[in-house]
Amino acid sequence: MHNKINEIKKNESSPRVIKNLFDKDQISKFLNLYEQLPTTVHNKKQNVIKKRWLKEYGKELEELFYSKLKNEIGEFKYDNLKTDNGEEIYGLFQESYNPIGLHIDGGFNFEDLIYKQSLIPLTPVGSTVIFKNRYYGKSTNFTIDKNELEITKLNYGQNLRSNKHIGMFGSKPFNTKDHENYLKHENIDNLIGLEIELVYEWELGSMLIFDRTNLHCSSSKIEGKKIGLTTFTKK
């Protein structure tokens, strides 16, 4: 668990959505930036393409992005994975063809004072589910799949696999209506004890901000593919 849990908790707040933060031209610039960036990972099993926002790309756009995010959450430092040369990156673009499963983005260093993460949709169809439940460990994919749980050889930046969430939040079965509406891709037994706080319906120009301690995942809502930009921060 993180060493600064009490300080992390002091900075926590409810997830929120800021509408009309970016105009159509700015969204187009983000998409153009995405096309220019080299592919970092193409996970064919998950059917997701990830691209790191490298420092030498889109400097003017980064200044815009930084100022808008700072205006919403105050002073922060980026806490994204480094390049092979140890250089900072600004965020992570993900092009997904399947929903992303239940996880937490707590980072990989227990000394860090983790803070907020943001999501900017760059395609109009999709939604993200934020749970009330919180976890204070490292970045982790939560699963009851035995094959996934057996994966222990992880590359740099890959999430841990764990079923520790089962029983951590009680034994109340997950709401069947919510499962049908939003989370049909998840095994309902993997959601025991969880409760939805917010379902963020993707809308171009908006931004979702939430704590890095919140469990979350994609909803089942997807049409072909979706592209989003995520940034992780610390104090």
| pLDDT of 40 higher than 90 | no
**How many folded domains does the chain comprise?**
1
Query: Can you give the residue range of the structural domain that contains 111?
Result: 5-234
Tokens of 10: 């002091």
- Give 191-232 pLDDT, tens digit per residue: 999 999 999 999 999 999 999 999 999 999 998 899 999 999
- Neighbouring CB atoms inside 10 A of 33's CB total 20
Of the candidate ranges 10-19, 23-32, 46-55, 121-130, the one whose mean pLDDT is the lowest? 46-55
Please give the Cα distance from 233 to 116 (Å, whole number): 5
Residue given tokens 């908006």 in the structure block: 206
Asked if residues 207 and 98 have their Cβ atoms less than 8 Å apart, the reply is: no
pLDDT of residue 36: 95
pLDDT of residue 41: 79
| pLDDT of 62 higher than 80 | yes
pLDDT of residue 6: 96
Given pLDDT bands bounded at 50, 70 and 90, which one contains residue 45?
low
Q: What is the CATH number of the domain that holds 56?
A: 2.60.120
Please state the rounded mean pLDDT for residues 72-92.
Answer: 89
pLDDT of residue 168: 96
Of the candidate ranges 16-20, 58-62, 228-232, the one whose mean pLDDT is the lowest? 58-62
- Give 164-199 pLDDT, tens digit per residue: 999 999 999 999 999 999 999 999 999 999 999 999
